[in-house]
C-alpha cells in the first residue's frame, strides 16, 4: 500500500484565480475575502495578479486590494504576473513570491498573452533574472498541462521539455495547471513520471479544475506519488477566461475535508473555511459548486492522531 504524506500544503487561489472568472466585485469585498481566508489557518494565498485592466478587469484594483489587506503573520502571499511590467508592479508592492504563467499549448498561450509558448519562455527567462535580482522567488506555472480546449491532449513530453527550459533558466519551482479540467489519474501519473525522470529535484505544485469531476481523484493520485503542494479555491470559485467551458477550481473545503478524513494535516480549520466559502457565495451572488457547503455532517477540524 502506498504511504501517503502526513501533511499537505494548500495554496488558496480564490482571491485571484477564483475572482478573475467572476463578474467584478467591489474592492471592499475582495479585501474582506482575502482577510477572512487569512484567518482560516491556510498558510499560502495567491492574493492578486498584476495584469492590464483591459485584459482582466476583475483585477484592475490589485494595488489597492493588496495595500488594504491585513497581511496576517505566518501567511505567505504571492502574486501572478504576465510580463515585466506586471513583475515590476508586484515587486514595488512588496511581493517576494511571484508566479508567471506559460501554456504548454501554443494556441492557448496566444489566446492568453498573444505570443507563442517559445516567445513566452524567452520572456520568462528575463523575468526570472529580474525577480532574483530583487530578492524574490519565481514560480513558473505551466497551464494546459493535461489538455487544451483548442489543441486537445497535451503530450507529457512537451510539458517535461518546458520544465527543462525553465529550470535551466533558474525557476525556483514549477506548477502544473489543469486549465480545462481534462486531467485524470492516468494523465497525472504520466505527467509526473515524465517530469521527474529529468528533474526529480524540482519542487512541484498541482492545480486542478473540476470541470469533469476528477479533481479529488487527481489529488489522491498525486498524493500517492509524493506530491504535497496543491492549489485550491474557496467554494470552487474560478475557471479560465481563455478556456471555454472550464468550470471552477478544486474547492478548498472539499480538499481539506478529504485530507483530514484521511489523517493528513493541512493546518486549516475546516469550519472556519466553510464559513468563508459561505461568505464567498454572498460576495459573488451565486451558488458555488462546492459540495461541502450543502452536505451533511462535516469531518473533524483536525486529522485524527
Catalytic positions are 240
Burial of 33 (0-12, 13-18, 19+ CB in 10 A): buried
**How is 233-258 classified by DSSP, letter by letter?**
BGGG----TTSTT--PBPBHHHHHHH
Assigned C-alpha cell, 135: 530578492
Q: How far is CA 109 from the centre of its chain?
A: 17
Dist. CA 298–CA 271, nearest whole Å:
8
Q: What angle do CA 76, 275, 265 make, to 5 degrees?
A: 50
Contacts with 172 (C-beta within 8 Å, 6 or more apart), sequence order: 137, 138, 139, 203
Of 164, 186, 236, 189, nearest to 12 by C-alpha is 236
Dist. CA 140–CA 192, nearest whole Å:
16
CB 66 within 8 A of CB 34: no
Dist. CA 65–CA 32, nearest whole Å:
9
In this structure, the number of other CB atoms found within 10 A of the CB of residue 77 comes to: 21
Q: What is the largest CA-CA distance in the chain?
A: 51
Q: Which residues on adjacent β-strands are paired with residue 232?
A: 12
Amino acid at each position: 500500500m502506498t504511504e501517503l504524506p502526513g501533511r499537505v500544503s494548500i495554496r488558496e487561489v480564490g482571491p485571484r484565480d477564483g475572482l478573475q472568472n467572476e463578474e467584478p466585485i467591489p474592492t471592499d469585498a475582495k479585501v474582506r475575502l482575502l482577510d477572512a481566508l487569512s484567518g482560516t489557518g491556510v498558510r499560502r494565498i495567491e492574493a492578486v495578479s498584476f495584469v492590464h485592466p483591459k485584459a482582466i478587469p476583475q483585477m484592475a484594483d490589485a494595488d489597492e486590494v493588496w495595500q488594504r489587506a491585513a497581511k496576517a503573520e505566518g501567511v505567505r502571499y504571492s502574486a501572478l504576473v504576465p510580463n515585466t511590467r506586471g513583475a515590476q508592479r508586484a515587486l514595488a508592492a512588496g511581493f517576494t513570491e511571484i508566479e508567471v504563467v506559460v501554456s504548454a499549448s501554443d494556441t492557448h498561450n496566444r489566446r492568453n498573452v498573444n505570443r507563442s509558448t517559445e516567445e513566452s519562455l524567452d520572456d520568462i527567462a528575463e523575468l526570472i533574472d529580474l525577480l532574483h535580482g530583487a530578492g524574490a522567488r519565481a514560480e513558473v506555472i505551466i497551464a494546459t498541462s493535461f489538455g487544451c480546449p483548442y489543441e486537445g491532449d497535451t503530450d507529457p513530453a512537451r510539458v517535461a521539455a518546458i520544465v527543462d527550459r525553465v529550470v535551466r533558466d533558474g525557476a525556483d519551482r514549477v506548477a502544473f495547471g489543469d486549465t480545462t479540467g481534462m486531467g485524470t489519474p492516468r494523465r497525472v501519473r504520466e505527467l509526473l513520471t515524465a517530469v521527474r525522470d529529468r528533474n526529480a529535484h524540482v519542487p512541484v505544485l498541482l492545480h486542478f479544475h473540476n470541470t469533469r469531476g476528477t479533481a479529488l481523484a487527481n489529488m489522491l493520485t498525486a498524493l500517492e506519488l509524493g506530491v504535497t503542494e496543491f492549489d485550491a479555491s474557496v467554494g470552487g470559485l474560478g475557471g479560465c477566461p481563455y478556456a471555454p467551458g472550464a468550470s471552477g477550481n478544486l474547492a478548498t473545503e472539499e480538499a481539506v475535508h478529504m485530507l483530514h478524513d484521511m489523517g493528513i494535516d493541512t493546518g486549516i480549520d475546516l469550519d472556519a473555511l466553510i464559513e468563508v466559502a459561505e461568505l464567498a457565495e454572498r460576495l459573488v451572488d451565486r451558488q458555488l459548486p462546492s459540495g461541502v457547503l450543502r452536505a451533511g455532517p462535516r469531518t473533524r477540524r483536525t486529522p485524527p492522531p
